């Protein structure tokens, strides 16, 4: 993958091939380790290590900020935080922090995470999924009882069996590797992932993300 990196970047950026064609030509991009390597080739940043370290550092203040919200957001955030009453593991804490972040930013969790009752429902709907992290009800949880998910882009399964926070980090890697745009419904969430958790792009954050940054750091 390292030897073909330059050719691959030119094709992806200038020819904008369909996702299925890219994945057929470079199937290694459906491997988490290779996505990490590709992201590092593009940005010089260690994808998962950087994302998780920043997420863990921000989690306490992020959840406190989210809990200070009122109205409908407060009720939704309370339900999200209740997940910790059953399983207070690092994976669940990360998932809770990300869900709280989405709500705090005024965006909708369902635009990032799509839940399916079972595999059949997922397979019947997959072609309609543009960019999502799919949580499938009849798939087994991990040994720590936290949910696992599947990353889908343009109806193509890229990765599966990952916990929620890893999916968020790896989704950023896929976006960079495939030169994709952020979903407009999640522009602030993706901006936080990029500028706060991965410390990429020296341009000034949007006002909303800057306020969050100042409150956390």
Q: Do 80 and 99 meet the contact criterion of CB atoms below 8 Å apart?
A: yes
Domain count, the chain: 1
Lowest mean pLDDT among 39-48, 106-115, 136-145: 136-145
Domain region containing 41 = 5-216
pLDDT tens-digit readout, 137-163: 877 555 445 678 999 999 999 999 999
| Cα 158 from Cα 149, distance rounded (Å) | 11
Q: What is the mean pLDDT of residues 197-204?
A: 86
State residue 72's pLDDT score.
83
- Residue 61 has a CB neighbour count (10 Å cut-off) of 14
Cα(24)–Cα(38) distance, integer angstroms:
16
State pTM to two decimals. 0.93
């Amino acid at each position: 993958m390292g030897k073909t990196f330059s050719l691959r970047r030119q094709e992806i950026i200038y020819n904008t091939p369909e996702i299925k064609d890219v994945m057929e030509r470079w199937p290694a991009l459906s491997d988490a380790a290779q996505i990490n390597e590709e992201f590092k080739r593009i940005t010089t940043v260690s994808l998962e290590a950087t994302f998780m370290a920043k997420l863990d550092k921000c989690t306490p203040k992020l959840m406190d900020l989210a809990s200070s919200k009122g109205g409908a957001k407060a009720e939704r955030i309370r339900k999200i935080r209740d997940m910790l009453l059953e399983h207070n593991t690092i994976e669940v804490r990360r998932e809770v922090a990300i869900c709280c972040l989405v709500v705090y930013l005024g965006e909708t969790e369902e635009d990032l995470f799509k839940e399916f009752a079972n595999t059949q429902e997922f397979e019947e709907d997959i072609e309609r999924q543009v960019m999502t992290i799919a949580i499938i009800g009849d798939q087994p949880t991990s040994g720590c009882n936290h949910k696992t998910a599947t990353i889908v882009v343009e109806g193509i399964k890229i990765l599966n069996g990952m916990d929620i926070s890893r999916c968020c980090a790896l989704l950023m890697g896929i976006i960079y590797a495939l030169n994709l745009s952020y979903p407009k419904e999640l522009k602030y969430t993706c901006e936080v992932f990029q500028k706060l958790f991965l410390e990429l792009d020296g341009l000034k954050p949007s006002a909303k993300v800057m306020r969050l940054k100042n409150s956390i750091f």
